[in-house]
Amino acid sequence: MLNKAVFFDRDGVINRERGEYTWRLEDFTINEGLIEFMKFAQEKGYLLIVISNQGGIQRGKYSLHDVDIAHNYLKEELKKNGVELADIYICPHHDKTERCFCRKPQSIMLEKAIARFNIDVTKSFFFGDSARDVEAGNAVKVKSIQIEPNSSLLKYRDLL
Protein backbone atom coordinates (compact mmCIF):
# COMPACT_ATOMS: atom_id res chain seq x y z
CA MET A 1 0.00 0.00 0.00
CA LEU A 2 1.29 3.43 -0.93
CA ASN A 3 1.53 6.26 1.59
CA LYS A 4 0.90 9.93 1.02
CA ALA A 5 3.19 12.64 2.37
CA VAL A 6 3.56 16.34 2.88
CA PHE A 7 7.13 17.49 2.36
CA PHE A 8 8.30 20.73 3.91
CA ASP A 9 11.29 22.95 3.22
CA ARG A 10 12.68 24.14 6.54
CA ASP A 11 13.79 27.79 6.66
CA GLY A 12 10.86 30.02 5.70
CA VAL A 13 8.27 27.23 5.82
CA ILE A 14 8.81 25.49 9.18
CA ASN A 15 10.79 28.17 10.95
CA ARG A 16 11.25 31.88 10.44
CA GLU A 17 13.46 32.80 7.50
CA ARG A 18 15.83 35.44 8.87
CA GLY A 19 17.90 36.10 5.77
CA GLU A 20 20.87 34.32 7.32
CA TYR A 21 21.69 30.82 8.55
CA THR A 22 19.52 29.53 11.37
CA TRP A 23 20.98 26.92 13.68
CA ARG A 24 20.93 28.42 17.18
CA LEU A 25 17.84 27.65 19.25
CA GLU A 26 17.41 31.30 20.14
CA ASP A 27 17.00 32.03 16.40
CA PHE A 28 14.77 29.04 15.63
CA THR A 29 11.19 30.33 15.71
CA ILE A 30 8.46 27.98 14.47
CA ASN A 31 6.18 29.75 12.00
CA GLU A 32 2.62 30.59 12.96
CA GLY A 33 0.11 27.94 11.95
CA LEU A 34 2.72 25.28 11.22
CA ILE A 35 1.89 22.98 14.11
CA GLU A 36 -1.85 23.21 13.46
CA PHE A 37 -1.30 22.49 9.75
CA MET A 38 0.95 19.52 10.46
CA LYS A 39 -1.53 18.13 12.97
CA PHE A 40 -4.33 18.46 10.41
CA ALA A 41 -2.23 16.76 7.69
CA GLN A 42 -1.23 13.96 10.04
CA GLU A 43 -4.87 13.37 10.98
CA LYS A 44 -5.65 13.12 7.24
CA GLY A 45 -3.09 10.30 7.00
CA TYR A 46 -0.12 12.18 5.57
CA LEU A 47 3.45 11.42 6.57
CA LEU A 48 5.35 14.61 7.43
CA ILE A 49 8.86 14.92 6.00
CA VAL A 50 11.35 17.80 6.04
CA ILE A 51 13.65 18.36 3.03
CA SER A 52 16.29 21.03 3.74
CA ASN A 53 19.49 22.44 2.27
CA GLN A 54 21.91 23.17 5.12
CA GLY A 55 24.90 24.52 3.20
CA GLY A 56 26.20 26.37 6.23
CA ILE A 57 27.61 23.05 7.44
CA GLN A 58 30.06 22.78 4.55
CA ARG A 59 30.85 26.49 4.75
CA GLY A 60 31.88 26.02 8.39
CA LYS A 61 29.20 28.35 9.79
CA TYR A 62 27.78 25.60 12.02
CA SER A 63 28.02 21.84 12.48
CA LEU A 64 25.77 18.87 11.84
CA HIS A 65 25.50 18.63 15.64
CA ASP A 66 24.12 22.19 15.72
CA VAL A 67 21.50 21.23 13.12
CA ASP A 68 20.60 18.13 15.13
CA ILE A 69 20.01 20.28 18.21
CA ALA A 70 17.61 22.54 16.27
CA HIS A 71 15.84 19.55 14.75
CA ASN A 72 15.49 17.81 18.11
CA TYR A 73 13.93 21.01 19.47
CA LEU A 74 11.50 21.03 16.52
CA LYS A 75 10.60 17.37 17.07
CA GLU A 76 9.96 17.98 20.78
CA GLU A 77 7.75 21.00 20.11
CA LEU A 78 5.77 18.99 17.56
CA LYS A 79 5.53 15.99 19.88
CA LYS A 80 4.03 18.20 22.62
CA ASN A 81 1.20 18.84 20.17
CA GLY A 82 0.76 15.24 19.04
CA VAL A 83 2.66 15.68 15.78
CA GLU A 84 5.40 13.32 14.62
CA LEU A 85 7.81 13.82 11.73
CA ALA A 86 8.50 10.72 9.67
CA ASP A 87 12.02 12.01 8.94
CA ILE A 88 14.24 14.98 8.17
CA TYR A 89 16.53 14.94 5.14
CA ILE A 90 19.32 17.49 4.84
CA CYS A 91 21.99 18.33 2.32
CA PRO A 92 25.09 19.67 4.12
CA HIS A 93 26.75 20.88 0.91
CA HIS A 94 26.91 24.36 -0.55
CA ASP A 95 26.86 25.04 -4.27
CA LYS A 96 29.55 27.72 -3.95
CA THR A 97 32.06 25.22 -2.58
CA GLU A 98 31.07 21.83 -4.00
CA ARG A 99 28.90 20.31 -6.67
CA CYS A 100 26.65 17.67 -5.17
CA PHE A 101 23.63 15.67 -6.22
CA CYS A 102 21.53 16.10 -3.09
CA ARG A 103 21.17 19.89 -2.80
CA LYS A 104 17.84 21.24 -3.99
CA PRO A 105 16.88 21.90 -6.77
CA GLN A 106 18.14 18.34 -7.24
CA SER A 107 15.54 15.81 -6.16
CA ILE A 108 17.68 13.12 -4.47
CA MET A 109 16.43 13.85 -0.93
CA LEU A 110 12.84 13.58 -2.12
CA GLU A 111 13.62 10.42 -4.11
CA LYS A 112 15.13 8.78 -1.01
CA ALA A 113 12.09 9.62 1.10
CA ILE A 114 9.68 8.45 -1.60
CA ALA A 115 11.46 5.11 -1.87
CA ARG A 116 11.92 4.61 1.87
CA PHE A 117 8.32 5.38 2.80
CA ASN A 118 6.66 3.95 -0.34
CA ILE A 119 5.03 7.28 -1.17
CA ASP A 120 2.41 7.88 -3.83
CA VAL A 121 3.63 11.11 -5.42
CA THR A 122 0.22 11.79 -7.00
CA LYS A 123 -1.30 12.20 -3.52
CA SER A 124 1.59 14.14 -1.97
CA PHE A 125 2.61 17.78 -1.61
CA PHE A 126 5.80 19.80 -1.18
CA PHE A 127 5.67 23.24 0.44
CA GLY A 128 8.67 25.46 -0.15
CA ASP A 129 9.46 29.13 -0.21
CA SER A 130 11.78 29.18 -3.22
CA ALA A 131 11.82 28.21 -6.88
CA ARG A 132 14.42 25.52 -6.14
CA ASP A 133 11.97 23.79 -3.78
CA VAL A 134 9.29 23.76 -6.47
CA GLU A 135 11.79 22.54 -9.07
CA ALA A 136 12.85 19.64 -6.83
CA GLY A 137 9.24 18.67 -6.12
CA ASN A 138 8.21 18.92 -9.76
CA ALA A 139 11.11 16.65 -10.75
CA VAL A 140 9.51 13.79 -8.79
CA LYS A 141 5.93 14.72 -9.79
CA VAL A 142 4.88 15.88 -6.30
CA LYS A 143 2.39 18.77 -6.22
CA SER A 144 4.70 21.63 -5.28
CA ILE A 145 3.51 24.90 -3.83
CA GLN A 146 5.72 27.95 -3.39
CA ILE A 147 4.60 30.00 -0.41
CA GLU A 148 5.68 33.40 0.82
CA PRO A 149 8.47 32.96 3.39
CA ASN A 150 7.19 32.83 6.98
CA SER A 151 3.53 32.68 5.96
CA SER A 152 0.99 30.38 7.58
CA LEU A 153 0.26 27.08 5.88
CA LEU A 154 -3.25 27.01 7.33
CA LYS A 155 -4.66 28.60 4.17
CA TYR A 156 -3.61 25.45 2.27
CA ARG A 157 -5.57 22.98 4.41
CA ASP A 158 -8.23 22.59 1.70
CA LEU A 159 -5.63 21.08 -0.64
CA LEU A 160 -5.20 18.04 1.58
* Secondary structure, 3-state, 118-160: CECHHHCEEEECCHHHHHHHHHCCCEEEECCCCCCHHHHHHHC
Query: What are the pLDDT digits (tens) for 132-147?
Result: 999 999 999 999 999 9
Query: What are the pLDDT digits (tens) for 8-39?
Result: 999 999 999 999 999 999 999 999 999 999 99
Domain ranges of the chain: 4-150
pLDDT band at 99 (very low <50, low <70, confident <90, very high): confident
3-class state of residue 100 by DSSP: coil
User: What's the pLDDT at 127?
Assistant: 98
Residues known to be catalytic:
9, 11
Give CATH superfamily name and number for 4-150: HAD superfamily/HAD-like (3.40.50.1000)
Residue 48, pLDDT > 80, answer: yes
